[in-house]
Structure 1
């Protein structure tokens, strides 16, 4: 059913729902548009409406080939909406669900596009604050790039900042998606441009590996890893690319590259990555207290949506049902310093070599059982060998405890 959005736009069809609102396929004076209609409770918040209007100039002025442009901001009664360019394609999360991971050349090409878009945004004083695969759109009608990749555009600029009002979050709340949050946000510091670089490096890692470097388990554990743990090595990629990932995942914001630098460095690496297949690594093993991941056969039988939820970012609210587009602009309490300090192991969960059994699985138990049997047999053989040596050493004993003299058998008899 069509509905009017302000005086200039008409929304015809729902494209997706998120925790912040609903995205519609709409029509405007200049043709088709995407309309993000924020929730009614957000529209009734006068403070947020004021911030919405204040952000209008910055958001409308952000124009770049790799940014989904905001055409208009609508405030009309109970309607609060962002009118954006319509991109004919899909989002990066959908591609990950289908392929699990990308070849390094394709992954780098996508991330370089997004970094170009971030560079333009940061130059205009706009921080995205929620970079993740759900917010990267792939233009299926655009020209193909390296490894056949479609142009990538970053969307949802300004939404996290609009919702993150002092009234809603105060100083003890976090806005964002746990798997992609920079350490300084977890520690309660104000978000600067460097948080987008950290999130984008996390996306690059996920595109290469099929899972995020610090994700998995309870959201609180994810947040703690961002602050206390270092990223585990990811085997199978050139050292030049890995060093870029490590630098952009640095705990100190000042140590990370700028968006323009990251884009340039990534594009320089594209020839080196040409023809390289996707990595062959398995997800990290479960931590104590986590449910062990399923065996490959079970993974193949599981519905695609369930597999995607296990691989993707965890929701901030435990037990929350995922949205159709997995938009997670939700607040969470900032962990106390003692909570962040607890349980650190120094290094994030280490990816297992492809084919290695998962701890706790039937295959893992069988291997452990065979190892115990082998060690037991080896121990018995060793014990027998030691016993035989001891017997040989004492076999010449005359019975009275005196050592046997071999010359008694070789000396000639007395005349």
Structure 2
């Protein structure tokens, strides 16, 4: 596994812009790593919807000029435009993508395009090799992590390498649109980024652990055409239901699916008309997708804002209870321990003094906030003089990750 260029960034996480100017442009300078406003021309949105053959009934809409990715209207979810470019995502979702979201209890908007590349690469690698992709096998290769307010997957130590991750995708947070939530046919859970993530110990794939290992090979990440996604069973919705794809070598001979990724492959994917009585490819692969319910798509949507307000916030404090069902959450704070270095204890225990003065005072603000804390407080009595300022030193409380031993899938 290649070493990441930045020691603070694990492989599989999207590095942020290195220069202060780029960071300000990317993040909009928002406190806590908030999201930048829309910077994506409307004509690019329409071109994308046409290019990926987005069904009209899915209700894709262009955001308001001052929107961020967290400003989804009620009944809609945010989709990052790069999901449908280099990430090779198409709608409806495949069963595999929906299963990944449900297993990890994630909202699709909480994945960055960089992470979606990993998910999509895994699926087309396995499908090209004739292996059915499953979440159980995905977990053999990747471990869930959190990076800058979004969930990520890093490659598990000692697991075979499926691809070389790209160096980064910039400005993706400024390019997004909204789509009806009913079009994303998975049980989306907006997961708190402060959740404790269990570090899984899983048997890595080998000839002793899985029968498909001899077929495994590295298939590098690349952008695929609609036809290639179709033949890989990762896209539905071709215009003709009476057609079928076939991979052909330059000589005209049939080829296996993985050949389309071989740098020396000079053939192509041909679209052929089905013979009389032959079932079209769309019908053959129909069960590989989570097809949205038409009635759900036509249901009138509520007015107002959606519920992605904490999207992209690395210090998110929680989510609505109706969305957090089934999530194991912790209430730890990142900074709770202080050492008093003053030569007096006079101000300790002052009401309203916050964590620095009273340890864990109810209503005190988390110490990880950027706003400078004020230990200097007035006592409850009117007109009483200010207490002397305490000089404190904050110590980061290091939380050890939980470890679970998971049986071989």
Query: Shorter-chain TM-score: what band?
Result: under 0.3
Q: Which structure is richer in relative contact order (CA contacts within 8 A, separation 6 or more)? A: 2
- Whose helix fraction is larger, Structure 1's or Structure 2's? 1
Question: Higher Cα Rg: structure 1 or 2?
Answer: 1
